[in-house]
Structure formats: C-alpha cells, structure tokens
Amino acid sequence: MFSLLTIFAGSFVVGLSGAMAPGPVLTVAISETLKRGFRAGPLIVLGHAILEIILLILIATGLGPFFQHPAVTTVFLSAGGAVLLWMGGQMIITNKKTTEDALNAKGAESPGGPVLAGIVLSVSNPIWIIWWVTVGMGFVMQSLQFGVIGLLSFYFGHILADLAWYSFVSFSVSAGRRFCSPILYRIVFIACGVALLCLGGVFIAKAI
C-alpha cells in the first residue's frame, strides 16, 4: 500500500537511478562545472526542476496520452537530436576559448547559462518524456490519491535525487580543477562534445 513516505522514497530511488545514467545532462554538467565551478550542477538541476514541474502539471491534468503518441515521440526525437548535434558541435569548435575562459574563471557570473541548459537539455531529450509518461505517470497516479501533498512528495523526492547526484558530480569535478592542465581541459571538452554528437545521431536515427 502506498503512503506519502513510500512515494517520496520511491521517487528518490528511481530518480537517482535515472540521474546516474550517462546522458547529455551529465555531459554538460561536467563541462559547465569546469567553466563555472561547483554551482553549475545545482543550477542545471534548477532548470531541470522548472521544466519538470510544468510537465508534472500537464500530466496530472490529463495530457499524458498526448505525449505517448508516436508522432509526438518522433518530433521530440528529431528536435532533441538536432539540439544535441548543435551543442556538441559548439563544444568542439569553441573548446580552445572555453578552456581559456575556464582557467581564467571567466563567465562565472552568468548563472542563467546552466539554468537554461537544464531546461533545453530536458525538453530536447525524448527519453525524459518517455520516462515521465511511463514510470512518472505511474507515480503521478498513485500520488494523486493523496491530492496535492502526494504530488509534492513525488516531485520533491525526484528533484532531490537529481540535486544530490549532480551536486556530487559538480563537487568532484570542481575539486579536481586545480589539478587539470589546459590540455586535459581541452580533451574533456572535446570528449563531451563528441558524446553529445553521438547521442544526437542516435536520437535522429531512431526518429528516421
């Protein structure tokens, strides 16, 4: 039998397993942390959280089946793939300047960067939509038995899992910044860019 504690704990565990899976958000979290320091991870999660509360409201009000339609999935796959290809290409092309800015601590005063990245990466990732209309939908239906407080228990359990993981990632990466040479910075940025290109290619291939 579901309880508020079960919903909170379950959404935290499931959310943590999803957050720990390699993907575009993890890749960008690493690159943004190299540029901006520890706060990049929590700021990316903030952008992610803003979008998720909107989607949660849409699903709770009955729009879940719309997101499950094959045509909608194809659109998200195509658009998501295009965004990831663009982001990956930009990371590779501008890696030298990005490295110099990171080492000189430039751009750290622009918190809107990682927040916007959290929003864009979420909405452009069809796997995120699929998770929400399958696993997420099940949690939402159970949570609705307790009304608004049930939905909030699910939401905060899920978001805290993302925050815990990406805070850990940012802390680990930022703690190692002082030991990174310029060439290692460039290698990391290029590797992240290539990873995004590969993910974008996979999304578009699935859409086709």
Domain count within the chain: 1
Q: Which residue has the higher pLDDT, 168 or 141?
A: 168
What is the Cα–Cα distance from 178 to 5, expressed in whole angstroms? 41
Report pTM.
0.70
What is the Cα–Cα distance from 157 to 27, expressed in whole angstroms? 23
Query: What is the chain's Cα-based Rg?
Result: 18
Is pLDDT of 9 > 80? yes
Is pLDDT of 171 > 80? yes
Is pLDDT of 111 > 60? no
Give whole-number Cα distances, 98 to 37, 38, 193, in Å.
Answer: 14, 17, 12
Q: Which residue has the higher pLDDT, 23 or 68?
A: 23
Parent domain of 197? 4-207
What is the Cα–Cα distance from 19 to 165, expressed in whole angstroms? 7
What is the Cα–Cα distance from 164 to 29, expressed in whole angstroms? 13
